[in-house]
Chains A and B, each alone.
Chain A
Amino acid sequence: MKASAITLGVIGAAFLIAPHVYGNRTLLFSMMAFIVLAQGLNLLYGFTGYLPFGYVGFFGTGAYTTSLMVLHSHLPVLLCVVAGGVGACIVALILGPLLRLSGAYFSIANLAASQILYNVVSNQDLSKITGGPYGLKIDQVYDPSASYFTMLVILLVATGLAAYFRFSRFGMALRAMNQDPTSAAMAGIDVVRNRLIVWLVSASVAGLAGGAYAWNLSVFYPDAVFTLQISVFAIVFALFGGVGTVLGPVIGAIVLYALYNAVGISAPQYFEFIYGFLIVVLVLFLPNGLMSLLARRGVRVI
């Protein structure tokens, strides 16, 4: 628990200092957004084994809920971001029955759900409400530094949740469920309720991130917050670092997003190659991510 607190402190301090050392704030902000997404996905996949290919759906829901609240309510923008988390949570509640599916069936159904959401918000006929294919504009609340700090707080909350899932009694129940749900039920664990809680929490994290992201961009097309690439990044980042740990997704997202920016922007033709190669190496040699390298050396991994 102490190690987790120190970790949170280090991450917080790093992203507070970073803008003073490194000029590209947009990159730092996006990096935080992807850490949150990787961590939020880790909450679900790492602790229950459900892999949400459509995780981006909650991110997009958050972005749209927040923006629509900014446009149509007079609430402070921070509360609108919170509403983004609530909106994603409600969508997850509606999608709750998906948890009856397992393995690939769940992943694909979740992917389909996210595509439905995308098609609904980008529909021309709904232009008056969602902006349709033209997206939304909330530049009246544009505030890069406030949205930066908001994203940092969300990042710390998501990582704190991962620490809670890993080290609490609740986390013990999750580990048992993940290994054998039938035996977990016979140990007195409410498997269905716990899964639903984690699902809602994970979706809410993505929703909050989407809200803060929309605030930071202040103008966006539906594609920017619903593209499947966001799901793929979150999954790869989390797996690369190591799911089921607190620090893995953070490290995975920092390393790979930095790489993406170093190679992906300047030499996109090599980027896909390098990424593909990395994923193959990961699956073959490090299926449990970077953190497992440490664990193998006997380091107590958090």
Chain B
Amino acid sequence: MLSEPLLKLDGVVKRFGGLVALDGVSFSVAPSEIVGLVGPNGSGKTTAINIISGTYHADAGSVLFEGARIDRVPAFRRVPLGINRTFQVPKPFAAMTVRENIAVAAYFGARVPVEIDAVLAEIDLAGHADVLASQLTVNQQKRLDLGRALATQPKLLLIDEIGAGLNPSELNTIADLLLRLAARGIALIVVEHVLDFLNRIANRVIVLSAGRMLFEGRLEDASRNADVVAAFIGG
């Protein structure tokens, strides 16, 4: 990684009352990279996503995007900078059509005009363009969530548990899509419990446990790391 990282977290701390959700987390992500974020429930994965997307602000530490500090930048201003995300439970605009969902994001969040049909084709919902988002299946809503993010032309995409509840063929389709996005230069941070899925796409994983980073490296090496095994299985 000779190029400057796209995203750099340095000593990020986030507390909720007495609970330390993130305790000095530092890592960086380069363009085109797919980084997996794994760990037991409550380990701080989604909190990390929320800090990077601007949903929460860190209590200490810094977040740099393209070399500039963005800690205090509100979420909606991070979108045109090139940061976007999906949600664990998809959050579409339920009473709008699929096309309108994409159009809203393209209009308000993108730096340059976006071809809405191209986004629809990418997430394989072109045939559902005029269907209300509330009438989609969960799998389709997850893709719409991704489409809403893609419509803002992100440089960094945060994917929160897109694999949960999908069948193997749906997982393959999503994996191929994420790999295509990375090949196009988009960096991805993927929170995931489905490790096979992650193994297919991630260049590197970061293991979190109780808000601390236990491990950073290749997924197969993680499974041989004693700390990681203890955190997952209990030791």
A residues touching B (Cβ–Cβ < 8 Å)?
169, 172-173, 175-176, 179-180, 182-192
Contacts and interface: CB of A to CB of B under 8 A. Distances in A.
A179 B79 contact: no
B93 A180 contact: yes
B107 A185 contact: no
B55 interface: yes
Contacts of B109: 186-189
Interface stretch (B4-12, B83-91, B204-212): B83-91
B107 A186 contact: no
Nearest to B103: A172
Contacts of A187: 79, 104-105, 108-109, 148, 151-152
Contacts of B93: 175-176, 179-180, 183-184
B44 interface: no
Contact of A180 (B76, B85, B92, B110): B92
Contacts of A175: 93, 95-96
A47 to B, nearest CB: 13
B32 interface: no
Given A179-B95, A190-B74, 18 more contacts: A169-B107, A172-B103, A172-B104, A173-B104, A173-B108, A175-B93, A176-B93, A180-B92, A183-B145, A183-B148, A184-B104, A185-B54, A185-B76, A186-B149, A188-B108, A188-B109, A190-B76, A191-B76
Contact of B91 (A169, A180, A188, A191): A180
A82 B190 CA distance: 54
Interface string B83-125: 0110100011111100010011101111000000000000000
Contacts of A190: 74, 76
Q: Of A173, A175, A183, A188, which is in contact with the most chain B CB atoms at under 10 Å from its CB?
A: A188
A183 B92 contact: yes
Nearest to A180: B91
A172 B107 contact: yes
B75 A176 contact: no
Interface of B: 53-55, 74-76, 79-80, 84-85, 87, 91-96, 100, 103-105, 107-110, 145, 148-149, 151-152
A186 B53 contact: yes
Contacts of B149: 186
A189 B96 CA distance: 16
14 contacts: A175-B96, A179-B93, A179-B95, A180-B94, A183-B91, A183-B148, A186-B79, A186-B105, A187-B104, A187-B108, A187-B148, A187-B151, A189-B104, A190-B76
A169 B164 CA distance: 35
The 7 closest A-B pairs by CB, nearest first: A188-B109, A187-B105, A188-B79, A188-B108, A183-B91, A179-B93, A185-B76
A190 B151 CA distance: 17
A179 B94 contact: yes
Given A175-B96, A176-B93, A179-B94, A188 B53 contact: no
A173 to B, nearest CB: 6
Nearest to A189: B108
A186 B193 CA distance: 24
A185 B149 CA distance: 11
Nearest to B134: A179
Most B Cβ at <10 Å: residue of A176, A186, A187, A192: A186
Contact of A186 (B84, B95, B110): B84
